[in-house]
A and B are shown apart, each in its own frame.
Chain A
Amino acid sequence: MSYNAKTPHLSSAISSVELLVAAYWNFLRINPKNFNDDLRDRFIFSKGHAAPALYVVLAKRGFFSEDLLESFGKPGGTLPEQPAPNCVPGVELATGSLGHGLPVGCGLALAAKIKGLDYFTMVLMSDGECNEGSVWEAAMFAAARELNNLIVVIDFNKWQATGRSEEIMALSPLREKWESFGWRACEVDGHNIEAITEAMHKARELSNKPFAIIAHTVKGKGISFMEDDNNWHYRIPNADEVEKARRELFQENIFV
């Protein structure tokens, strides 16, 4: 998709794949045929720049036809480079500007509390996104309102657009930060679907606190020449690189 549409952020999208798979197949109570059900779990993909990963997962999960994926980023197409409001079924929020997902997620979770509904709200954010002050405003709000129906998943790939996330904004200790803000928090291998699933289900355990999952990930995971190389935040692969990546991924049986 990145190659066809000539769009950047490929390695950011790859970083999130297993987190999305675990959420959409193993955690979220959703029905793609009734995607606006009031009782559904809500999923906000706050790192909108990695949208191709979300689109592929939504299509594979049956929210819309996989044929639509061809139109990604194309003029006149249905799938914008960053998700637009209601561009396809399953997109809950237009994202792309960082730091918006968690405050809106707080509103969705609070609405469930007011209405007495038991749905969960999950917000997937990037580590770079944690630079935004609004994230920490929302973190304090969620703890104060005891939003135990709210889950944050941080795709902690240790990079942001132009450098190491730790060097740019002193992110660590990330888990302790969330804990000190009144959240439960855990760390997990963000490429191990079983481990991620287990972590997500921990959020259902009895507690009055919201739940943060710090998922350790690698940008460009599974593609040797892309892994942990931040040039790929913006770089667009050429035809040879696409072929090489495809071979590597098939070799590892990632596509089955």
Chain B
Amino acid sequence: MRNAFAKEVTLLANQDENIILLSGDIGNKLFDELRNSHPNRFYNCGVAEANMIGVAAGLAMCGFRPICYTIAPFLTYRVIEQIRVDLCYHFLSVLLVGTGAGLAYASLGPTHHSCEEVGMLRLLPDIRIFAPADSIELRAILRYCINKAGPKYMRIGKKGEPDVHTKEIKILEEPTSFLLRQGKDVAILACGSILSECLNSAELLEKKGLQAEIWSCPCIKPLDEKLLDKVFKTFSTVVTVEEHSYLGGFGSAVAEWLCKMKIEKPKLITIGTPDEFYHEIADQHLARKNLGIDAESITSKILKNLN
């Protein structure tokens, strides 16, 4: 996903001279093309994230559309107050792109995991939050964010995430979700790159005789309320899945929405990582398995709840 981001941001920067990319000393060689063709539109801000957010704010005040790019936990936890005051309080058009979100950097340990940042950011007024499932959604959301006023955060993966969509998404209207598999027994709303696990889970569920409908839901704030309205009216059970704590993220947002709606006997299952640090040495695949968000775990949680 990060390669797709680098490629798309370079294309966009060629078309729009207000785009400036700030990086927190990562993306070695990733942005060489951008740097070479527009030397005054790429700045490595060093390992100094608080300053990077302030610099982005100052640039945005002068009409630029800065994008801040670094590893998700350092772009969010470390500088939550800068995001709150410099960007949200001033309603500045800055896009934050957190790479390696969730468990993408599982093997580097909890310092590099970000399974709480959506919960933190979601509380900030006026911020928009996105979690694309693959590089195709990423490109569409990036193009959308460039032209959208106000602060935005996009959590993306690292590399090697499978592309799920088969054709390019031309125009993104917000908030949007994408239907990837039709079903009648249960609706699974996948948020972010965990979508591929959900699609695998649908295959496993089918073997058990259950038809799961799969939606990719990259818009966390604001939520796609039209979709929620529809799935809760159509399905007796709705499941949310995300590579983020079950506290505070997409599933929580759906639960909050549900609380204010008058829906008879809704059944919502929120699947996310547990409320704990993950200490084992593992790659992303194993971490997902151990934390209960891989296809098998999703399948067994759904079966347990349906029976």
Contact = CB atoms under 8 A, between A and B. Distances in A.
Interface string A127-142: 0000001100110110
Given A85-B90, A141-B45, A108 B61 contact: yes
Contact of B48 (A38, A114, A137, A145): A137
Interface stretch (B78-86, B153-161, B182-190, B204-212): B78-86
Contact of A110 (B53, B58, B86, B89): B58
A103 B51 contact: yes
B175 interface: no
A138 B62 contact: no
B50 A103 contact: yes
A145 B56 CA distance: 14
Interface string B154-182: 00000000000000000000000000000
B90 A94 contact: yes
Contacts of B40: 113-114
Nearest to A108: B58
A97 B85 contact: yes
B43 A133 contact: no
B27 interface: no
A103 B53 contact: yes
A104 B51 CA distance: 8
B59 A110 contact: yes
A106 B90 contact: no
B54 interface: yes
Given A111-B62, A141-B48, A103 B85 contact: no
A111 B60 CA distance: 9
B274 interface: no
Contacts of A104: 54-55, 57-58, 61, 86
B55 A107 contact: yes
Given A104-B58, A105-B58, A113-B40, A137 B81 contact: no
Interface string B21-54: 0000000000000000000110101101011111
B64 A102 contact: no
Given A94-B85, A114-B40, A103 B46 contact: no
20 contacts: A93-B90, A94-B85, A100-B86, A102-B54, A104-B55, A106-B58, A107-B54, A107-B58, A107-B59, A108-B58, A108-B59, A110-B43, A110-B58, A111-B62, A114-B40, A134-B50, A134-B51, A134-B54, A140-B46, A141-B51
Interface of A: 38, 85, 92-94, 97, 99-100, 102-115, 133-134, 137-138, 140-141, 144-145
Closest 4 CB pairs of A and B: A107-B58, A103-B54, A111-B62, A137-B48
